[in-house]
Amino acid sequence: DYLTKPFSVGELTARLRVAMRHVHKVAAEPVFVSGKLRVDLTARVVTCDGEELQLTPTEYDLLRVLIRHAGRVLTHQLLLKEVRGAGYQTETHLLRVHMSNLRRKIEADPANPQYILTEPGVGYRLRVDA
């Protein structure tokens, strides 16, 4: 797109939003499947054993970050930075609460998780073939 001078900040912002929407449509994310867990990243739909789950925005964002780095250990600080922002990197208790809630929703037995594994003292890892 092209803007001629002088232009308003509002016009620039509106054009940037439109451009970003087009970029996201082109780079559509795939569907993640692991065991009974299925996450449609484009539609923001999470199902487990065929049942659609209702996740909070924070829970969904945590799951999306874990999917993007599936199989790799992600530190508490990295997860907090990606989901909540740089100001929350030391708030690991918040992360534990959100992970516990997420596990309750996607795991058959949250005490013995199949999908989201804890790496003690480091962070969390999403198992790829659960």
- For 50, left (φ over 0), alpha (ψ -120 to 50), or beta? left
Task: List per-residue pLDDT tens for the chain, 130 residues long.
Answer: 677 888 888 888 888 888 877 765 545 568 899 889 999 988 899 999 889 999 999 999 999 999 999 999 999 999 999 988 888 778 888 899 999 999 999 999 999 999 999 999 899 999 987 5
| Edge-to-edge strands, sheet with 123-126 | 73-75, 123-126, 116-119
Specify the pTM: 0.74
Residue 125: how many CB atoms within 10 A of its CB?
A: 18
Instruction: Out of 3.30.1490.190, 1.20.120.80, 3.20.20.70, 1.10.10.10, select the CATH number for domain 9-126.
Output: 1.10.10.10
Residue 118: how many CB atoms within 10 A of its CB?
A: 14
